[in-house]
Amino acid sequence: MKKSETGLSAWGLTMMALGTVIGGSFFLGSAIAIQSAGPSVLIAYILGGVLVYFILYALSEMTVADTAPGSFRTYAERAFGPGIGFVSGWVYWTGLILAMSSEAMAASVFLKTWFPWISIPAMGVVIIAVITLANLLGAEHLSKLEGTLAAVKLFAVAGFIVLAFVLISGLFPRSAAIGSGFLASERFFSGGIPGIAGSMLIVMFTYAGFEIIGLASSEAKDPTRTVPKAITYTVISLVTLYVVAIAVLLPLIPTNEVRVDVSPFVAALSGMGISWAASVINIVLVTAILSTMLAATFGLARMLRSLAEEGHAPKWIRDRREIPYRGILFSGAAMLFGFGLAFLLPEHIYLFLVSSGGFALLFTYFIIVSSHFKFRNKNGCPPKGKCQLPWFPYSSWTAMLGLIAIIASMPLIPGQGSGLVAGLLLVAFFTGSYWIKKYRRERKIQFNKV
């Protein structure tokens, strides 16, 4: 069957992107951002949405021009050479492995409350094994499953917004209107500019995963049409849901009572005496995490295949079948290793995994924008996709400077400094690995000539 007649639709791509993005990092990790910035976290989410808009449309222009299997890694290699392609691909893969390990840890903690007789390590192993095996079903089957799980998350966020609005407006039976609630007694900029800056890493991490659209584009139906549509749907859905959800959350709970180990959405509803709704949110939270891990593993395997095709990964990972079985299984094994780190370094491990994974993703986004900047200057607009990124080159400079500023602000939040160090060490490690690999290959060529 021809590719134009089958493959992922714009809606399928969108649901896969939303499946990756809306996970534990939003339902649980948003508490870290709220603690840091207070009510002004709303500004952070809006700024994050603007950055996502610029990054996604930069990626879209390159994807429309060429739906390369390695997506942004391949574009970076074409723009800056094989060294950047090697480093960006492996840093992204490692960062996402760490991020998904944090998601597995969060899911295990929540499931422990329902299955107390199962240990957290055993729970995590089962979760990662199930996610890995589900990915072996292939893109179309996974898209249907992911679409269902993503729909649950979207309805849950929308349901929370409606319920919160009912509480705020006083439409809830036998309850007075909350109005501005706790928000009335709080300073909007309680954390000041450092608070907003320090919250940006977590905010961007809650948006992270949208780049799956690029990695899945090679399996899309008519990608020159479906990819731009999917990106538009994703940007509008994400920014609207996040900003509105946080806006209606803030009146329901004091920001100084938000705890990192409890979802602020669950805490807010429990504080309002709606325990049944809080329980529903807990169920959705686990669903969201599993959905995120499913979609992320899909992207991880495709990234590994791209690296192997270019000779940047061991030959045994190379898999030319439609479903990259070896990449899926290897990524699953790596997630198990990352999950095991939680028991070797238990103190603040969730924040460490989030921040180190967040750095790797921010590094990847910088590579995407800078690759597009060079691509656009060299080639102009894609022949079929038209110019999608507005205000070029100012939007590109804004995105790159914004990403650098977020990385530089990481030490402002306790726990993120170690994640920054780990991220920089990752970049240094893979840079060194590339040069060692290159040196050995050149020596081997010279030896063969002799």
Span 7-63, pLDDT tens digits: 677 777 777 777 667 777 787 778 888 888 889 999 999 999 899 889 988 888 888
As a whole number of Å, the CA-based R_g of the chain is 22
Span 268-321, pLDDT tens digits: 888 888 877 777 877 888 888 888 888 788 888 888 888 888 888 888 887 777
Q: What is the full DSSP assignment across 361-423?
A: HHHHHHHHHHHHHHHHHHH-S-TTT---STTTTHHHHHHHHHHHHHHHTGGGSTTHHHHHHHH
pLDDT score for 2: 39
pLDDT score for 449: 64
pLDDT category at 1 given cuts 50, 70, 90 is very low
Q: Is the pLDDT of residue 400 over 90?
A: yes
Q: Is 8 helix (H, G, I), strand (E, B) or coil?
A: strand
pLDDT score for 4: 40
- 8 A C-beta contact, residue 304 and residue 327: yes
Distance of CA 245 to CAs 32, 51, 131, 287, Å? Answer: 16, 19, 28, 18
Q: Is the pLDDT of residue 113 over 80?
A: no
* Tokens encoding 128: 């990662």
Span 246-272, pLDDT tens digits: 999 998 888 888 887 778 888 888 888
Task: Tell me the whole-structure pTM to 2 decimals.
Answer: 0.84
Distance of CA 192 to CAs 53, 256, 263, 411, Å? Answer: 25, 15, 24, 16
* Tokens encoding 316: 């045994």
Q: Is 199 helix (H, G, I), strand (E, B) or coil?
A: helix
pLDDT greater at residue 278 or residue 6: 278
Compute the distance between CA of residue 425 and CA of residue 448 in angstroms, rounded to an integer. Answer: 34
Compute the distance between CA of residue 81 and CA of residue 79 in angstroms, rounded to an integer. Answer: 6
pLDDT score for 37: 87
For 303, phi and psi rounded to 5 degrees? Answer: -65, -40
Largest CA distance in the chain: 89
Q: Is the pLDDT of residue 220 over 90?
A: no
Q: Is the pLDDT of residue 93 over 60?
A: yes
Span 338-357, pLDDT tens digits: 888 767 665 556 566 667 77
pLDDT greater at residue 216 or residue 421: 421
> Fold for domain 3-449?
Amino acid/polyamine transporter I (1.20.1740)
pLDDT score for 216: 67
Span 159-205, pLDDT tens digits: 889 888 888 887 766 666 677 777 878 888 888 888 888 888 888 88
- 8 A C-beta contact, residue 329 and residue 132: yes
Compute the distance between CA of residue 164 and CA of residue 160 in angstroms, rounded to an integer. Answer: 6
Span 121-161, pLDDT tens digits: 889 899 999 999 888 877 666 667 767 777 787 888 888 89
Domain assignments of the chain as residue spans, ordered by start: 3-449
Compute the distance between CA of residue 329 and CA of residue 132 in angstroms, rounded to an integer. Answer: 7
What is the average per-residue pLDDT within 87-96? 89
Residue with tokens 């095709």: 309
Q: Is 347 helix (H, G, I), strand (E, B) or coil?
A: coil
For 356, phi and psi rounded to 5 degrees? Answer: -70, -40
**Contacts (Cβ under 8 Å, ≥6 apart) of 49:** 207, 235, 238, 239, 242, 243
- 8 A C-beta contact, residue 38 and residue 189: yes
Q: Is-cis flag, bond preceding 393, omega within 30?
A: yes
